[in-house]
Amino acid sequence: QVQLKETGPGLVQPTQTLSITCTVSGFSLTSYYMQWVRQTPGKGLEWMGFIRSGGSTEYNSEFKSRLSISRDTSKNQVFLKMNSLKTEDTGVYYCARGATRVSYWFAYWGQGTLVTVSS
Amino acid sequence: EIVLTQSPTTMAASPGEKVTLTCRASSSVSYMHWYQQRSGTSPKLWIYETSKLASGVPNRFSGSGSGTSYSLTINSMETEDAATYYCQQGSSYPWTFGGGTKLELK
């Protein structure tokens, strides 16, 4: 069955770079868009961006200048990297997938990984 | 950016009561999608493309709407329905979520 699991650092210092890995099983990354969504106390749920089945990306302009999404299809992993972290970036980061190859909603979610930005 | 405004922010309903949650978009969207989230867990897809129930969602739930106004209705409130519900649009970048409605049991 479809499974997604995020792995993150837990604690990140302000100004540093956040790196999170989403490991998937039950499907191929070359067949589906993979999404990143975060949930913060200040802004709630926010769509961050996605990587298409073909490997191109789309980002929320809110994060565009500091966000990068990539993948390793051989390892069934999707990566989120975001630099210049601020305390407001504290929250839970989710990877998600649509129901079909191109979906405009999120049918499957990982458990999320809590990221705390603090010195 | 399309802003989604959910109302009410919080509400309480008694078992058996009919409940309607509303989501208004700042510009017209093609569809609205809804998620249920319980404390400490990931959001779950609940309703997609405005009115289609996700797998496993009880048929006491329904969704409707068009343009800028959408709603999620529970025909008869049950204990397990207490949760926070979020709407989401994927019609226009950036995709956005509403602020949520926290539904409590009275």
Asked whether the beta carbons of B98 and B5 are under 8 A apart, the reply is yes
Please report where in the chains the tokens 């990931």 appear, as a residue. Answer: B42
Asked if A79 reaches chain B (Cβ–Cβ under 8 Å), the answer is no
Encoding tokens for residue B15? 């078992």
pLDDT at B44: 98
pLDDT at A26: 96
Query: Could you report the average pLDDT of every consecutive run of 10 residues in chain A (119 residues)?
Result: 96 97 97 97 96 94 92 97 97 94 92 97
Asked if A46 reaches chain B (Cβ–Cβ under 8 Å), the answer is yes
Inter-chain residue contact A106 with B45, CB threshold 8 Å: yes
| Chain A residues close to B101, C-beta within 8 Å | none
SS3 of chain B: the string is: CCCEEEECCEEEECCCCCEEEEEEEEEEECCCEEEEECCCCCCEEEEECCCEECCCCCCCEEEEEEEEEEEEEECCCCHHHCEEEEEEECCCCCCEECCCEEEEEC
Tell me A87's DSSP state: G
Tell me how far apart the alpha carbons of residues A109 and B42 are, in angstroms, rounded to a whole number: 7
pLDDT at A99: 86
pLDDT at A102: 83
Point out the residues of chain B with pLDDT beneath 70.
none
Considering only residues 75 to 94 of chain B, which have any Cβ-Cβ distance to chain A shorter than 8 Å?
86, 88, 90-91, 93-94
Asked if B5 reaches chain A (Cβ–Cβ under 8 Å), the answer is no
